[in-house]
Structure 1
Amino acid sequence: MTDPLAEVVTLLQPAARFSKHVVGAGRWRIRRSDAGQPFYCAVLEGGCRLALDGHEPIELQAGDFVLVPAAFGVTMSSLEPPAGAVTLDSMPVALGEGLFRIGAPQGPTDLRILAGHCSFGSPDAALLVSLLPQFVHVRGEQRLATLVQFVREESHAQRPAREVVLARLLEVLLIEALRSASGTAASPGLARGLADVRLAAAIRAMHAQPTRAWTVVELAKEAALSRSSFFERFSREVGLAPMAYLLAWRMALAKDLLRRNEGGVAEIAERVGYSSASTFSVAFTRHVGLRPTQYAREQSDAAQAGV
């Protein structure tokens, strides 16, 4: 059976950047600006407050896991607000071996978290991330904290095949987080669409047969919904209209095929559901900003230059 989540995460090519074990005490606040970098955090003990630009602050507790596929402004703070009307951001203190302390420098700690950033190797990361929720908050899934611990341990060890193991662990971590998003505070995206049994049928059909000349009416039939109910429900849960989602997925497939030199433009056009090379070229150029041949040439040049 086609697995849309696995397909998207595999195309993203996740890689570990860094992972930190953080303990906190007293009152503190940390703010980071991460230009679109994927961020994850697992709370092992205690609690803290997390605020993302454009979202209401949320309170995290032990057992919570947060995934943000493209983080920009991130503020984390103690549950008790820092003292004073004007507060200065705290600076984490490195204690060695990937362990950091925030807040009061002495005394018992009241928070323990694992946090990290990964990167997406795909040149199409922005397009693929647009198919995912902007924000996933999962409560009480011990498997996620365990996976984060594995990522942390592997990232700090210098064992053979380290990068391969990390890439696989991150793929599993991202898929586990996204499929755990059913019924949680996930924002609109692929995970929420797949959590809806009716919409999942239509999404899997698009991924299984991207070459088919789908219409909203046909996709609504796959979902066993009326056209209007399907369109409204899909747009609300996935965050894109059905045909916009299909276009984004076709373009992601096309870019992957062009990058890997998997045939000429006419062949790739057919493999992603276009009846002619010219129709495909027009759609690709409008969506990507480059003609397919230009895109393939740029990707080839970048690969040869080791970019």
Structure 2
Amino acid sequence: MTDPLAQVVALLRPSASFSKLTHGAGRWRVRRTENGRPFYCVVLDGSCRLTVGGGDPIILEADDFILIPAAYQFTMSSIEPMPAGAADTVPVELRPGEFLVGSPDRTPEVRNLIGYCTFGSPDAALLLSLLPQLVHVRGEKRLSALVQLVNEESRASRPARDVILARLLEVLLIEALRSATLSAGSPGLLRGLGDERLAAALRCVHDRPASPWTVAQLAREAALSRSTFFERFRQAVGVAPMEYLLQWRMALAKDMLRRRDGGIAVVAERVGYSSASTFSVAFARHVGVPPTVYARRQDEGEMELSDEVPARGPDA
């Protein structure tokens, strides 16, 4: 049966953007305002403090792993707080890919390996809404090893580097998400998969998206009454069952259209619509443009990207 978590991560199409090793010494604070790109960090030695948005500070210790699937504002700092009114710390590059934050006269108390990646999916916002806002995993050395591999591969110029990095990032994201406490956190796919009854229904949706599912049928798969299943699903996943089914079908349709994997009629059948016209109406209502227009825009966008030269610069 299809693994929903692996499907979502694969559709996100992760690719490496930037990674670096940081040493923190003395009192320091680095604040970042991002545009929603994914951020991850593993603490190699020592401890530090992380604050995401307006949330409570989290103390990170050795072998802790943090994943923020869509980072906008976060702060990392020393355990010892900065003086009142002090300015944020400016990282100093020691050598390519390695930075110091804090006092150069003190032995570093913490070493972090941090990185950013990008998601190539045009439907990333929808897919990210299925994941928790923050993943904090403690003591999983497998994650530390994966981050090290991503860091090493990103700095090498070996054959098939981009392919290897994409696969490593997929494994890293899946390992991080499945290592998290499935029943905790914000509503989304991960929380739904943490509920054994709901997981059965979710796997059915992902395994057979073209089936004419109803709430009653999915409730039977979950061995729950219709009303109990509906409310339990809505609270755990964050949307009603049929809304989730629609979102997933449209995410699959977008991916197939982007890859030119069949004509409109074939895509319609694969995502559960009886005709191309019915699918086109539903797609246009959900996406804002007909599937033919969407496919053409994806082609034009990829042609434009192929003409660009990617800029690689320091991202401290």
The match for 2:70 is 70
Q: Which amino acid aligns with 1:50?
A: L
Question: Are 1:160 and 2:159 counterparts?
Answer: yes
2:144 and 2:186 mapped to 1: Cα distance?
Answer: 21
Q: CA deviation at 1:80?
A: 1.8
The match for 2:10 is 10
Identity of aligned residues (%): 64
The match for 1:42 is 42
The verdict on how the C-alpha distance between 1:16 and 1:74 changes in structure 2, with shifts beyond 3 A counting, is same
The match for 1:267 is 266
1:169 and 1:119 mapped to 2: Cα distance?
Answer: 13
Q: Deviations over 1:30-52 (max 9, x none)?
A: 11111010010111212112111
RMSD: 1.6
The match for 1:208 is 207
Q: Which amino acid aligns with 2:170?
A: E
How many pairs align? 306
2:69 and 2:248 mapped to 1: Cα distance?
Answer: 17
Pairs within 5 Å for 1:52-131: 52-84=52-84, 86-131=85-130
Q: Which amino acid aligns with 1:95?
A: L
The match for 2:310 is none
1:61 and 1:119 mapped to 2: Cα distance?
Answer: 26
Q: TM-score, normalised by structure 2?
A: 0.92
The verdict on how the C-alpha distance between 1:213 and 1:172 changes in structure 2, with shifts beyond 3 A counting, is same
The match for 1:280 is 279
Q: Helix, strand or coil: the match of 2:246?
A: helix
Q: CA deviation at 1:54?
A: 4.8
Q: Deviations over 1:138-172 (max 9, x none)?
A: 11111101100111111112222211111111010
Q: CA deviation at 1:6?
A: 1.2
2:209 and 2:242 mapped to 1: Cα distance?
Answer: 11
1:204 and 1:183 mapped to 2: Cα distance?
Answer: 15
Question: Are 1:177 and 2:172 counterparts?
Answer: no
1:275 and 1:149 mapped to 2: Cα distance?
Answer: 48
1:285 and 1:134 mapped to 2: Cα distance?
Answer: 29
Q: CA deviation at 1:262?
A: 2.2
Query: Would you tell me which structure has more strand in proportion to its own residues?
Result: 1
Q: Deviations over 1:68-114 (max 9, x none)?
A: 11111111111221112x23111111111311111122111111111
Q: Which amino acid aligns with 2:192?
A: G
Q: Deviations over 1:274-297 (max 9, x none)?
A: 123233222211221111111011
1:92 and 1:299 mapped to 2: Cα distance?
Answer: 38
Judge conservation of contact 2:205–2:245 (CA < 8 Å) in 1. yes
Q: Deviations over 1:240-262 (max 9, x none)?
A: 22222111110111011111222
Judge conservation of contact 1:52–1:74 (CA < 8 Å) in 2. yes
2:190 and 2:142 mapped to 1: Cα distance?
Answer: 18
1:23 and 1:238 mapped to 2: Cα distance?
Answer: 38
Judge conservation of contact 1:46–1:110 (CA < 8 Å) in 2. yes
2:94 and 2:42 mapped to 1: Cα distance?
Answer: 20
The match for 2:19 is 19
2:181 and 2:132 mapped to 1: Cα distance?
Answer: 11
The verdict on how the C-alpha distance between 1:183 and 1:11 changes in structure 2, with shifts beyond 3 A counting, is closer
The match for 1:237 is 236
Q: Which amino acid aligns with 1:35?
A: N
2:293 and 2:283 mapped to 1: Cα distance?
Answer: 11
The match for 2:314 is none
Q: Which amino acid aligns with 1:295?
A: Y
The verdict on how the C-alpha distance between 1:283 and 1:167 changes in structure 2, with shifts beyond 3 A counting, is same
Judge conservation of contact 2:70–2:128 (CA < 8 Å) in 1. yes
Judge conservation of contact 1:210–1:272 (CA < 8 Å) in 2. yes
1:223 and 1:5 mapped to 2: Cα distance?
Answer: 18
Worse-superposed segment, 184-193 or 202-211: 184-193
The verdict on how the C-alpha distance between 1:23 and 1:265 changes in structure 2, with shifts beyond 3 A counting, is same
Q: Which amino acid aligns with 2:215?
A: V
Q: TM-score, normalised by structure 1?
A: 0.95
